[in-house]
């Protein structure tokens, strides 16, 4: 029994690291620009296709393709923000508007990917994706382990950037109070573009890792949106630390549920968590409670 518990815990934490990276860009974008980006999972899939075709056409490892996918998606993020989101950034109903905008954007991205690549399920297959480390009766899948560790390293680097760099100070100031940051000389428009580009770049990086951890196809993003929203809401909208903690927690719980109850119920963990947290603590674990008017 103890061996089974440790095994499930290892698998849950490894996948939790990947899910944390998938959600970190979503949390950053909401924290800085108040954009509820329902298109984020579809952009992760776009990053997965970049890694997949890089591996298929050139033989480049998807981990090596990670910075390429991140850079390409960050560039797309700049264009996307300038064309779609910048115009109404000061609107009082901006967050509500972005729900509809990004929902439409998700369908557009899905349609483009479906037209280019069809809805065939794909997965990159580096040698380590089907290999494992064995520690006595325990096994650790190399693909999940590498993806989880790389995800946490990227999130750690992002946290250091936000905490210690001048641009990081500006991003955090904008997150806390856009108007006050602007009064102190922060170019809020530039910071918004930069933060959005980083957020979408993180989606591209996550996509490279997702490409050998999960099978994917253009419509797969609808299965992920509830999972990622659960993680971001539970952690506290805009909190990257909260996103990491929530991703690890929910992934471990889902792993136990999937093993002991049934795989069908594993996904329900995220839906149930989203429902409960909105009822009990809408601000999430690390979010601030909104002030009463």
The confidence score (pLDDT) of residue 292 equals: 45
Nearest to 16 by CA among 284, 208, 250, 273: 250
Residue ranges of the chain with per-residue pLDDT less than 50:
292-293
The confidence score (pLDDT) of residue 189 equals: 85
Return the half-sphere exposure (C-beta side, CA atoms, 13 A cut-off) of residue 288. 7
The confidence score (pLDDT) of residue 290 equals: 54
pLDDT digits (tens, 9 = 90+) for 106-120: 999 999 999 999 888
The confidence score (pLDDT) of residue 259 equals: 86
The confidence score (pLDDT) of residue 278 equals: 83
């Amino acid at each position: 029994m103890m061996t089974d518990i440790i095994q499930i815990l290892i698998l849950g934490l490894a996948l939790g690291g990947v899910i944390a990276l998938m959600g970190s860009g979503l949390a950053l974008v909401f924290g800085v620009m108040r954009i509820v980006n329902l298109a984020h999972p579809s952009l992760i899939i776009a990053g997965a296709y970049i890694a997949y075709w890089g591996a298929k056409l050139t033989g480049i490892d998807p981990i090596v393709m990670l910075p390429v996918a991140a850079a390409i998606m960050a560039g797309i993020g700049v264009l996307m923000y300038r064309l779609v989101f910048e115009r109404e950034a000061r609107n009082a109903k901006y967050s509500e508007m972005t729900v509809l905008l990004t929902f439409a954007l998700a369908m557009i991205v899905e349609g483009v990917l479906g037209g280019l690549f069809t809805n065939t399920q794909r997965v990159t297959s580096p040698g380590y994706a089907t290999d494992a480390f064995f520690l006595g009766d325990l096994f650790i899948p190399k693909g999940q382990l590498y993806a989880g560790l790389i995800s946490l390293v990227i999130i750690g680097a992002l946290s250091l950037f936000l905490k210690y760099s001048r641009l990081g100070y500006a991003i955090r100031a904008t997150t806390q109070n856009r108007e006050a940051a602007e009064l102190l000389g922060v170019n809020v428009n530039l910071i918004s573009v930069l933060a959005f580009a980083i957020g979408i770049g993180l989606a591209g990086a996550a996509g490279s890792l997702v490409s050998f951890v999960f099978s994917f196809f253009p419509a797969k993003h609808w299965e992920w949106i509830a999972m990622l929203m659960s993680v971001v809401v539970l952690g506290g909208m805009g909190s990257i630390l909260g996103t990491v903690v929530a991703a690890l927690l929910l992934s471990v719980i889902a792993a136990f549920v999937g093993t002991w109850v049934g795989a069908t119920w594993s996904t329900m963990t995220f839906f149930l968590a989203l429902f409960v947290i909105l009822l009990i603590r809408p601000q999430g674990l690390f979010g601030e409670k909104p002030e009463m008017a």
